[in-house]
Every structure is written in structure tokens, then in C-alpha cells.
Amino acid sequence: MRLKPKVNARPVRHGFPWVYASDLVTDRRTKALAPGRIALLEDSGREPLGLVAVNPGSKIIARMLDRDPSATIDRAWFAARLSRAFALRDRLFDAPFYRLIHAEADGLPGVIIDRFGDTCVIQPNAAWADALLPELAGALAEVTGVSTILKNASGRARGLEGLDEESGVLLGVAPDGPVPVPMNGATYMADLTGGQKTGLFYDQRPNHAFAASLVREGTAVLDVFSHVGGFGLAMLAAGAGTALAVDGSAPALELARAGAEASAMAARFDTRQGDAFDVLTALGEEGATFDVVICDPPAFAPSKQSLEAGLRAYERIARLAAPLVAEGGVLGLCSCSHAADLSKFRTACTRGIGRAGREGRLIHTGFAGPDHPQHPLLAESGYLKALFYAL
């Protein structure tokens, strides 16, 4: 595979991990390559740039795997990448509950692996990883020693790669029920086979911790888009008086209640199921107020095409949530939309707070934890933003 004559090869040489279809010489043979095929990438002068994984049906037609053109992408190769990632997490965490592989940033493009004690969940979101899944799973068991490996095939990314949605068990036996996960002093219950994504969102861990630092005796917390208890459980563990979790998913709220029970905090924890916009509106009409309000919605702007609509949604969330914050309280607003960069997201949130008639001081900006490293040349890997305003 070869870059077009006028395409600058410098970004790829300096570490950019993707090649777009518009930058590559494509002929009948290229378009006939099976998704996931490994190929040698050359610049326009036929100088080797490295081995890439190819998917002719994707806008990202090639993903850099190894800059050594003589490398062999096999189980040993996977083991080397996994060992490097494992060593970092072992330094960062004292318990085996974390994101082990964060795609391009850990040298495995399109691959997500979350670890839950003795179980790992793989999301092979790129065709090459799906094709080499047996080698990847074998190396994962070898490096980590886990007894169970699950494949999660849900998510928008696999659809963009033309992949199926068939999840399954790659090693061992699937857990019989939710898995307890200790984090920030609370116990979260993760459904590894039927829950959202891999079962739990580890990326918010440091933002949960910051929110917990805001707690004082009697603090009342509202956790909107709570999933399995996210911010609410962490803040209860820090001593909050009460926490109300709001989510549209009944199964997620059931897991949140189970987490509160496992954390011995059920008496201070309540849930409310419903559309978040509707619940925020209803709480405003009821005159409810809370010392800390957190809104952690799904990606409203997952692509450039949805950016403007997504920013309007973030602004609306801020406008509805701000009146629920008691005077001197804190509003936390989060985004996992990579298309909405920090500046645009902050502008939307600040505008929404102003439209609600409140004034806010931005006291903290948070990002994903260190088990979600950012690829320095790939803005998409720095998707998570969390803004905390004192109102």
C-alpha cells in the first residue's frame, strides 16, 4: 500500500496512527483486500513506513500496527504490547480493576480491554483485531493470568468497521451475575455480559474522587445519567447525607441499588427512573435543590455531523440542572463526545448556566484516568471532559 504522491508522510513517520482512504493509492486489488488484512505501508517514494491493518470499507483505511516492516503480528507480538500496558496499570493501581488496553494509546488500534479481577472483557472494535482475536485472547491470558475472557461486540465503532454484534465467551465461564468492583471507597456492580459497554466506566474514576472531595456532612447529591451509581456512590462513601440517582435504564438503577447495598449505604441512596431532561424539569418544578448536582450523559456529539445538535443538548442540560444547585453548591457537567472539544463544551455549559440565571466559577476541569492514556497525536483519545462549577 502506498501514499499518494502529494500526501505528506511526515505525520505517519512521527507517530500519527491512521491513514485515511483519501490519502492512499487505491486500485482494484486494494479494494479487494479482506477487512483486517495486514499490509506494508510505503510513502510515495516506496520507502517503508510500517505494517498497517487494512479495512477498504472504512474511512480509516489503514491503522498503524508496527513501524518495523519486518515485524510478525502474532501471539508473541500481542504479548509484548499487553505486557507493557499491564506493567503501567500494575504501577498505577493496587487492585486489578482498570482499563488494561486503551486502543491506539496502548499500541492496539481499535482494541479496548477492561479488567475486572479475574475476568477481562475485550471489545475488538477494528477488523484486524476481530480477525486475530484468538491470538489476542491467548496472549491476554498468558500475560494477566485471568481465567475468564469475554468478547463484547456492542457499540457504534464495530458497525463502522462492518463487524457483527456477536458477543461471547473466549475463555472460561461467564460470571454468574454482576461482578463487585471496588472503587473510590464504594462497591459498584458491573454486569459484564448484559450491561453497557464492558459493564462499567472506569474513565470517570478521578472525577468521582474530585466530586467526593466536595462532600461535607449532610451533603445532598443529585447524580443524573448515573448508570450503575457513578458519582453518587463515590460521594456517599465520602460521607454525603443522601444521593438521588437518575437514569433511563431500569437495569442500571437496579445495579446501582445493589452497589449501595453492598457498600452499606442503601438507607441514604434513592433512584428515579426516567428521561433525564424530563426528570430535571420535574425536579425544578418541585422546587428541589441539592448541594452537588452531577450530569454525566452519553455522547451527545459522537461525530462532527452531530456536533451542533450535541452542543445544544449539553447547553440544555446545564440550563435545567443549574437551578437545582443550592446557593454555594457545585454543578458538575461531563462529556464523552470527542467531537466536542473542551473549549466548545465549556462554552455550551457556561451558556446554559447563564441562561438559567446563575453565575458559575469554574473550579476544576477533569479528564479520564491514567488507565485511559491519550495518544498525543490523536485528539479522539482525549474524549472525556468534566467541568465543575461553584454556583
Q: What is the Cα 135 distance to its own chain's centre?
A: 24
3-state secondary structure the chain: CEECCCCCCHHHHCCCCEEEHHHECCCHHHHHCCCCEEEEEECCCCCEEEEEEECCCCCEEEEEEECCCCCCCCHHHHHHHHHHHHHHHHHHCCCCEEEEEEHHHHCCCCEEEEEECCEEEEEECCHHHHHCHHHHHHHHHHHHCCCEEEECCCCHHHHHCCCCCCCEEEECCCCCCCEEEEECCEEEEECCCCCCCCCCCCCCHHHHHHHHHCCCCCCEEEEECCCCCHHHHHHHHCCCCEEEEEECCHHHHHHHHHHHHHCCCHHHEEEEECCHHHHHHHHHHHCCCEEEEEECCCCCCCCHHHHHHHHHHHHHHHHHHHHHEEEEEEEEEEECCCCCCHHHHHHHHHHHHHHCCCCCEEEEEECCCCCCCCCCCCHHHHCCEEEEEEC
Angle at 279 between CA 274 and CA 281, to 5 degrees: 150
120 counts as catalytic: no
Q: What is the Cα 109 distance to its own chain's centre?
A: 15
Of the listed 120, 295, 336, 349, which one is catalytic?
336
Partner residues linked to 24 by β-bridges:
3
Phi, psi of 152 (to 5 degrees): -110, 120
Separation of alpha carbons 133 and 127, rounded Å? 10
Classify residue 228 as exposed, middle or buried by CB count within 10 Å of its CB (0-12, 13-18, 19+): buried
Q: Catalytic site residues?
A: 336
